[in-house]
């Protein structure tokens, strides 16, 4: 956690340009910290998850819509 803290970039200057996909089930890092850090960004928080993003294929449509493709 200390090493990750060194990577913090501070406030997000243009939160509307970020789409955050987060899952609650990852047991090492607390998803709530990400939700707070990316407040104001377009967020999707899923109850599933492990170390990888479970069900990423189901998020494709949301990503494509966010990118305007």
Tens of pLDDT, residues 11-46: 889 999 999 999 998 778 888 988 999 999 999 998
- Distance separating the N- and C-terminal Cα atoms of the chain: 36
Q: What is the pLDDT of residue 67?
A: 93
Look at residue 10 and tell me if it is in a domain: no
Q: Token digits for 1?
A: 């956690």
Q: Is 53 part of a structural domain of the chain? A: yes
pTM of the complete model beyond 0.85? no
The answer to whether residue 60 sits within a structural domain is yes
Q: How many domains does the chain have?
A: 1
Q: Would you say residue 50 lies in a domain?
A: yes
Residue 11 inside a domain? The answer is no
| Residue 6 within any structural domain of the chain | no
Domain that holds residue 60: 17-67
Does residue 1 fall inside a structural domain? no
Phi, psi (degrees; rounded to nearest 5) at 56 = -55, -35
- Chain center to CA of 43: 7
């Amino acid at each position: 956690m200390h090493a990750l803290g060194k990577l913090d970039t501070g406030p997000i200057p243009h939160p509307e340009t970020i789409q955050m996909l987060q899952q609650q089930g990852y047991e090492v890092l607390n998803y709530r910290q990400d939700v707070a850090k990316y407040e104001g960004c377009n967020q999707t928080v899923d109850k599933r998850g492990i170390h990888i993003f479970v069900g990423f294929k189901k998020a494709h449509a949301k990503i494509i819509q966010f990118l305007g493709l």
